Structure 1
Amino acid sequence: MDYPHQPEHVTLVITHRLQPGKQPDYERWLEKIMPQAALFTGHLGVNVLRPVHGEMTYTILIRFDSLDNLYHWIHSSERKARVAELPEMLMTPEHIEMRPGAAFWFTPATPASPAPARWKQFLVTLAVIFPSTNLVPWFWGHVLPASQGTLWGHFLNDACVVALVVYLWMPAITRLLKNWLTPRG
C-alpha cells in the first residue's frame, strides 16, 4: 500500500563506538554484514563514515525504499546473528535511528542533540550540489566532448555528482561545519 506522505526512502543510521584495537575485527565484520543487507528487497545502498583523527566511532547509513523493507532487514535472522558478534568490539551498545529521505547527513552526534535548522541543512546541501552539478559537466565536456548532450553523458555526470556528494563532499562539509550546524548551548 502506498501512503501519500511517506518519504521516497528511509535511512537506518547506526553508530558504533569501537573499543581500542578492534578496528580490523570491525572492518571484517562490515565486509560480512554489508553484502547480506544488499540481498534484502528494497536495499538502496550503504555508506560507512569511518572515524577520523583517532576517533573510534563509525556511522553506517543503510538506505531502503520503504519502512517495511527496512524492518524486514532489522528483524532478520541474518542481521541478528551478525549483531550478536558486536559486543566484544564495541565500547557502548549500538545506537540506531531511522531517518526519512536525505536527512541522514544531518544526524546529531548524540540523541540529546537537536537536529540542525532546516535552513542550515538547505544551505549546506546547496553549497555541495550547486558547484558539483556545474563543475562535473564542465570537466567531462572538456575530457570527453562527445558526451555532451547524450544520455550516457548525463549518466556519467549524474554518477560523478552523486559519488562526490555521498563519498566526499557531504561527509567532509558536515564534519567541517558541525559546530555551526549544531552549536553547543
Structure 2
Amino acid sequence: MTTSVEAERRSAPVPSGEVGLLIARQVEPGHEEDFEKWARGVLTAASAFPGHLGHGLFRPSRPGEPWCLVHRFRDAEAHARWDASPERAAWFRRADGHHWEVDRRRLTGIEGWFVPPGSAHAAPPPRWKMTVTAVLGVYPISLLTGAVVQPQLTGVPSLLRTGLTAVMFSVLMSYAVMPALTWTLRRWLRPD
C-alpha cells in the first residue's frame, strides 16, 4: 500500500543544487530503541554514498512526538542515487512496522535557514522574504570582509584567500547572522 507521503516522494521533482531532507517518523511507544538502531543504520548506509554531505537523528522533545532524520546531499542526482539504491530498499524492508513516516520536507538553497529548530513540519516563508533576510545577512558580512579581512590577506594566494573568506562567510551566516536574523524577524517571516 502506498501512502500519500510515499506518492509525493516519488512524484515530486527534486530541484538541482544542494538537497536537504527533513524526515519525521512516528515511533510506537516501547519501540524507540529498535527504531534508533534502524535509523542509525539507514543514516550510516546513506553516508557511504557519493555526494552525501551529512546526516543527523533528533529525538523528540516530548514523548509521543515524531523523531526527525536529516540528510544532506550535494545535488539532486546524489539524492536520487540513494533514494533508488538497493541499500536503502534493504533497510526499509528491515523496518519492523512500529514506525512510519509522517512528514518529509525537501529543502534546497537557503530554505534550511528558515525551518525552526526541531520542526520538520514547518514550511519555509515565501521565497521573497527569505531573499530579503539573506541580503540583510550578507550585506554586513560583505562590508566586514571587504574592510577588515581582505586587507589582512593581501599576501595570501588568491585561491586560498577566497577559500578562507568563503569559510568565514559560511560560518558567520550559518551560526551567527542567520539564526539572529530569523529570530529577530520571526513575526515578519511567519506572521501566523
TM-score scaled by length of structure 1:
0.60
- Paired residue for 2:136, among 116, 127, 135? 127
Question: In structure 2, what residue type is equivalent to 1:71?
Answer: A
Contact 2:38 2:95 in 1 (8 A): no
Structure 1 residue aligned with 2:11: none
CA deviation vs aligned residue, 1:114-164 (integer Å, no higher than 9, x gap): 64223311121112222223324555447x545567321111001221233
Work out the number of aligned pairs and report it: 170
Distance 1:12 1:86 in 2: 26
CA deviation vs aligned residue, 1:81-130 (integer Å, no higher than 9, x gap): 55656977x7x73521224443343458575x664223311121112222
Q: SS at the partner of 2:125?
A: coil
Structure 2 vs 1, CA of residues 150 and 79 (structure 1 numbering), >3 Å: closer, same or farther?
same
- Paired residue for 1:40, among 45, 49, 53? 49
Structure 2 residue aligned with 1:161: 169
Distance 1:70 1:178 in 2: 30
Contact 2:43 2:55 in 1 (8 A): no
- Paired residue for 2:72, among 62, 73, 92? 62
Distance 2:112 2:90 in 1: 26
Distance 2:97 2:169 in 1: 37
Distance 1:136 1:35 in 2: 37
Structure 2 residue aligned with 1:95: 103
Question: What CA RMSD, in Å, does the superposition of the two structures yield over aligned residues?
Answer: 4.4
Q: Is the radius of gyration larger for structure 1 or structure 2? A: 2
Compute the displacement of 1:176 (Å).
5.1
Structure 2 residue aligned with 1:3: none
Q: SS at the partner of 2:101?
A: coil
Contact 1:46 1:63 in 2 (8 A): yes
Equivalent residues in 2 for 1:13-92 (5 A)? Answer: 13-16=21-24, 33-34=42-43, 36-41=45-50, 43=51, 45-46=53-54, 48=56, 58=68, 60-66=70-76, 68-80=77-89
Distance 2:184 2:68 in 1: 17
Question: In structure 1, what residue type is equivalent to 2:127?
Answer: R
**Unmatched 5+ stretches in structure 2:** 1-13
**Unmatched 5+ stretches in structure 1:** 1-5
Question: In structure 2, what residue type is equivalent to 1:65?
Answer: D
TM-score scaled by length of structure 2:
0.58
Compute the displacement of 1:183 (Å).
1.9
Question: In structure 2, what residue type is equivalent to 1:163?
Answer: V
